[in-house]
Amino acid sequence: DAKTTQPPSMDCAEGRAANLPCNHSTISGNEYVYWYRQIHSQGPQYIIHGLKNNETNEMASLIITEDRKSSTLILPHATLRDTAVYYCIVRAFSQKLVFGQGTRLTINP
């Protein structure tokens, strides 16, 4: 079973920041937080991952709380092409990626 909890759906206006929350209250010390997204009928796309420090790349920022029990994925300037299902996953060494139901993010013009 997935070890994360995400809202089933969210909406965001184009050009605004999209903030996607994820709860992972049972995360272990050796587990990383990964974010993937899946645009309709395509393979999941890796976005970002982190352990305990905040991370930023060209796609997004990942904010992990100090107790590591929750995190937020931030898409700074959402576009229509960011409409997708976003998956938050916790994963440790050699473990498989366990996908939950994710958050269906809709970017509105």
Partner 1 sequence: KAGVTQTPRYLIKTRGQQVTLSCSPISGHRSVSWYQQTPGQGLQFLFEYFSETQRNKGNFPGRFSGRQFSNSRSEMNVSTLELGDSALYLCASSLDGRLNTEAFFGQGTRLTVV
Question: Scanning the structure block, which residue is given the tokens 């996953």?
Answer: 89
d(C-alpha 103, C-alpha 109), whole Å: 19
* Residue among 2 and 10 whose Cβ is closer to partner 1: 2
Check if the beta carbon of residue 84 is closer than 8 Å to that of residue 36: no
| Interaction of residue 98 with partner 1, rule CB under 8 A | yes
| Interaction of residue 109 with partner 1, rule CB under 8 A | no
Selected range binding partner 1 among 8-16, 17-25, 39-47, 69-77, rule: CB under 8 A: 39-47
| Interaction of residue 53 with partner 1, rule CB under 8 A | no
d(C-alpha 29, C-alpha 43), whole Å: 29
* Residue among 58 and 93 whose Cβ is closer to partner 1: 93
Burial 42-76 (b: 16+ CB within 10 A, else e): eebeebbbbeeeebeeeebbbbbeeebebbbbbbe
* Residue among 37 and 107 whose Cβ is closer to partner 1: 37
Binding site for partner 1 (CB under 8 A): 30, 32, 34, 36, 41-46, 49, 51, 87, 91-101
